[in-house]
Amino acid sequence: MPLGATEDRVIGSLDLQRVLRDGEHAFSPGLLARAHGGVLYVDEVNLLHDHLVDVLLDAAAMGRVHIERDGISHSHEARFVLIGTMNPEEGELRPQLLDRFGLTVEVHASRDVEVRAEVIRQRMAYEADPDGFATRYAADDAELAQRIAAARALVDDVVLPDNELRRIAALCAAFDVDGMRADLVVARTAVAHAAWRGATTVAEQDIRVAAELALPHRRRRDPFDDPGIDREQLDEALQAARNDLEPDPDPPGGGQSANDGAAQQDSSSDAKPQPPQTRPSAPPSKTFRTRALTVPGVGDGAPGRRSRARNLSGSVVAAAEANAPGAHGLHLFATLLSAAEQAGAGPLRPRPDDIRRAVREGREGNLVIFVVDASGSMAARDRMAAVSGATLSLLRDAYQRRDKVAVITFRRQEARLLLPPTSSAHIAGRRLARFDTGGRTPLAEGLLAARALIVRERARDRARRPLVVVLTDGRATAGPDPLGRSRIAASRLVAEGAAAVVVDCETSYVRLGLAQQLARQLGAPTIRLEQLHADHLTRAVRSAA
């Protein structure tokens, strides 16, 4: 399935050629029909648009595809093995679809020099003589194929004892996974692994292998949770299940001292001295649920769940000429109506000139850029904790709504892209947990960095609209004529057409009102730091223009 596939290409649509040529109501099947009984492979599955993810969810859950659109009512079977690859740093997969994958495998490049050298050696040998390379491993391939065939012949005879079944249930309960799909996948995988070993009865070693493949992607309850599975935790869960099934009168001890040692080691590492004028930011405050951030107007960005947009995933709101911009798919009623107007008393025979396209309005994903003042005037523990906590809260909301989020911090003499545009909440959470603070305030550099990021991302995705959230007290103290440079930087950011909001972080008794001045230069609303809560921030962002 190509990333750029349309919904019509995936599920099928009206066979327009037969309608126009023969006047017949015919259905043209899509990729899901072709994948029936085989394998559907999706590269970069985490980058699929939401409306295609919904289609895959329905097909995977029901084993059938139902089409009710453009005057078509059609249903066909679609049972397939779904295989996907992804890079989590480019964005995460929706939990609903991730759960549909029975097993996951994490792939990491080896750091061993000899292993890496051997990979290069083998690759170059293949490129030099592909046929000779394949011949060299033909015997190994044949042996592997024979072993797979033997396992497939044996798998129906493998017995899953009730004792091991209870072990599986206890293991899944210990990891607190939702639903029963994990238990079923572990059981089936353990049976398959036993057959692979040539055994006729499932043993604990089969369950352990199955758990390492089936549970890592099902135990994440929060987008900020670490992925994967802790092998020590898996050992403990298996030991607990073993104790429940076969009570152990003398359980192993010594765990307390190991934990105490780890705690002492952690506390000693925190005592390392920091460079002058620099200290790590305070831990983020508690996250909270936020309401949606929206950009004004109607865009045409990638389908998402944020701002209004014209795209493939929306509902039909109008009909347009065939070559009209922003129109997608066939508007069947308007096409037939146009044909009827030209037909007169004769039979209805639509012509190419009668084709009308559907104008759809749905939701898009946006690029939200947080520009955070990390200078000395902002480094107060409570302020940075509040700013980081609010940013993480909005990031969680962005993950759920399929947005991209970026974070820029500025301090001393420069701005730093702390978090490049990403949809991965886990990666973002790690970056935002701690960052350096202190030093002078290069406000102009922060604004210029936001502008440069917008220009760069617009070259990659012109339709994705940005929203810049500046968190600062408005001071500008770094470099020559800092206030003048800040005004110039603000005007350049405005010229890019980005919506903005300024969060006033000034807390001194006598307020200088510098953040309000910056907001006027950006044409943006201002809110106070003490109002940095979901209701206040969302209301201000929604009014940004």
Expressed in percent and rounded to 5, the helix, strand and coil fractions of the chain are 45, 20, 35
Distance, CA of 319 to CA of 335 (rounded, Å): 9
State both tokens at 322: 């065939």
What three-state secondary structure class fits 226? Answer: coil
Nearest C-alpha neighbor of 410 from the set 458, 476, 467: 476
Distance, CA of 113 to CA of 211 (rounded, Å): 31
Alpha-carbon distances of 11 from 20, 68, 79, 228, 365, rounded to whole Å: 21, 11, 13, 33, 23
Nearest C-alpha neighbor of 534 from the set 293, 372, 370, 363: 293
Q: CB neighbours of 108 closer than 8 A, spacing ≥ 6?
A: none
Q: Is the dihedral of CA 330, 331, 334, 340 positive or negative?
A: positive
Out of 18, 64, 79, 181, pick the active-site residue.
Answer: 181
What three-state secondary structure class fits 224? Answer: coil
Is 181 catalytic? The answer is: yes
Question: Within the chain, how many helices (H) and strands (E) appear?
Answer: 20, 18
Strand segments (E) across 365-403: 367-373
Distance, CA of 121 to CA of 107 (rounded, Å): 20
Q: Which residues are catalytic?
A: 181
